[in-house]
Chain A
Amino acid sequence: MNRKPYSGRLLAGLAAIMFAAVACGSTSTPAATSKGNITIAGFAFSEGSVLAELYGQALQHAGYNVTFKLNLGSREVVAPAIKSGQIDLYIGYAATDLEYYNKGAGEATGDATATTAKLNSHLQSISLVALTPSAAVDQNAFAVTKATQQKYSLAKLSDLQPVAGQLVLGAGPECPTRPYCLPGLMSLYGLHFKSFKALDTDGSLTRAAFKSGQIDVGLVFSSDGDLNQLGLVVLQDDKHLEAADNVVPILRQAVASDDAKNVLNEISAKLTTADLVQMNAQVQLLHQDADAVTKVWLQQHNFGM
């Protein structure tokens, strides 16, 4: 007869379900292990996930409780995050990171050790530390299609100088503000492109732009696994715009215990550029997961999985 209490109870029940779902939905905090918590971030491109998974899983199996924040963004997002303590560790590249933290002072060289030492001199005051650089390298590289290469007889970046005004450069939106990207091309090589197209950092937009001819020159990474298959040719960096971009873990001094540093350095010591290229190829071409691919690498290198 009187329906109101019924509907009232039903609605109250609904509300209870809703709140329960929200409460139960929140991820349960894992039990703290003996060695502590580390949050590792990865850049927003596939190699970023590969490196984050690689070092992160190694830490996990050494007994750390690791939280992964993959595809966090570019360095412009990751660096503030580590400075503010939102993350503890990210895997950087020696020269590019140096030029980020020294605000483009141009101190990086082709010597990985010297570059990393300089990097640490800047990191010290903000309570960060860079570990020993790996032999594995991934540099910015500028590529053209085979057709463009043949049309203008291009082998190295200097060859672009006379024809740059007819060509469009494509890269991530951060390129115009990065010393190793557009500003460097302009000042070191004297390249003044017809225009710049903001795409993504070596992702699907860049590849699509090559395919449709919307860009002539594009930024890729030297360790990409699919350049050959895409018919792209990397132009040689004859004036050495790109410096020693060796893989190097950067972490907050607060979590830089000797044990953690040992684990990370061990990975760096065993990682080669060929390894990176292969892992990238598996992820980019075969759509394998970064964590699966790195797990295999860790097993092959006896990291006690």
Chain B
Amino acid sequence: MAAIESLIKWFADPSHWSGPDGIPTRLLEHIQISAESVAIGALIALPIGIVLGHYGRMGNLAINLSNVGRALPSFGILVIAFQIFGLGDLPIILSLTALAIPPMVTNSYVGLREVDPDIKDAARGMGYRALAQLLRVELPLAIPLVMAGIRTSAVQVVATATLAALIAGGGFGRYIIDGLAQFDYSKLFAGAVLVALLALATEVSLAGLERLLTPPGIRLVKVAAASRATTFKTA
């Protein structure tokens, strides 16, 4: 089809692989801003979710945080952030971080809560102190869900980072927005394909990381749990 042909031609053009608007530059921009946002979000969200889950406190808040997060229109958040902070990376990272936090809190909370109380009892019986119990018994058991939360956040951040082009951000979203403005169908299509591939790659690689980090004994049991990760789509 003509569409596929022009797409292949676009990718075959060497000028699209270099310079400030080239694929490597845009890829790095996109990854950088996504990674920063997920990292900052994780630094905030994971301790909160884990501690709340460990003590079993404020469960409603932890779970409903995802409902609140889902209700936030990412486009509106980005433009409001632009109005407050102007152009640049700051408003983008703030918005993305805000959207990244809810799934990580909810999933870590649920992950910690799901740890079998018998196991916690056994650990206490074996003499584990509280922090050690948390780190060496509960967390490893909760890893599948914690990772699922990180994975969900990461994929959503990559998707929302695409929208950042609307407030003069970089990344692959630039190809989509510029392609729309210039009515350059190949650029638009290429941008969409690149973003889709990046999102899928993020999903797959983090799922792989999750499997790597899960202690072998747990892998067999926890498959069903991981699939219960909160569905969270904001972009």
* A residues at B contact (CB < 8 Å): 73-74, 76-77, 80, 172-174, 177, 195, 197-200, 204-205, 208-209, 211-212, 214
Are A212 and B86 closer than 8 Å at their CB atoms? yes
Q: Does B167 contact A (CB under 8 A)?
A: yes
A-B contact list, 29 entries, CB within 8 Å = A73-B181, A74-B181, A74-B182, A76-B182, A77-B183, A172-B181, A173-B177, A173-B178, A173-B181, A174-B178, A174-B181, A177-B182, A177-B184, A195-B20, A198-B168, A198-B174, A198-B177, A198-B178, A199-B168, A200-B168, A204-B82, A205-B82, A205-B87, A208-B87, A209-B87, A211-B86, A212-B86, A212-B87, A214-B88
Distance, CA A82 to CA B94, complexed state (A): 41
Known A195-B20, A198-B174, A199-B168: A208·B180 in contact at CB below 8 Å: no
For A205, the chain B residues whose CB sits under 8 A away are: 82, 87, 167-168
Are A77 and B180 closer than 8 Å at their CB atoms? yes
Are B178 and A212 closer than 8 Å at their CB atoms? no
Are A173 and B87 closer than 8 Å at their CB atoms? no
**15 additional contacts (CB under 8 A) given A197-B168, A209-B87:** A73-B181, A74-B182, A76-B181, A77-B180, A174-B181, A174-B182, A195-B20, A198-B174, A198-B177, A198-B178, A205-B87, A205-B168, A208-B86, A212-B88, A214-B87
Min distance, Cβ B146 to any Cβ of chain A, angstroms: 37
- In the complex, chain B residues 176-207 whose Cβ is within 8 Å of any chain A Cβ: 177-178, 180-184
Distance, CA A132 to CA B20, complexed state (A): 43
Q: In the complex, what residue of chain A is closest to B178 when comparing beta carbons?
A: A173
* B residues at A contact (CB < 8 Å): 20, 82, 86-88, 167-168, 174, 177-178, 180-184
For A173, the chain B residues whose CB sits under 8 A away are: 177-178, 181-182
Are B180 and A73 closer than 8 Å at their CB atoms? yes
For B182, the chain A residues whose CB sits under 8 A away are: 74, 76, 173-174, 177
Distance, CA A52 to CA B174, complexed state (A): 29
Min distance, Cβ B10 to any Cβ of chain A, angstroms: 14
For A76, the chain B residues whose CB sits under 8 A away are: 181-184
Min distance, Cβ B22 to any Cβ of chain A, angstroms: 14
Q: In the complex, what residue of chain A is closest to B165 when comparing beta carbons?
A: A198
For A80, the chain B residues whose CB sits under 8 A away are: 183
Q: In the complex, what residue of chain A is closest to B167 when comparing beta carbons?
A: A205
For A209, the chain B residues whose CB sits under 8 A away are: 87, 168
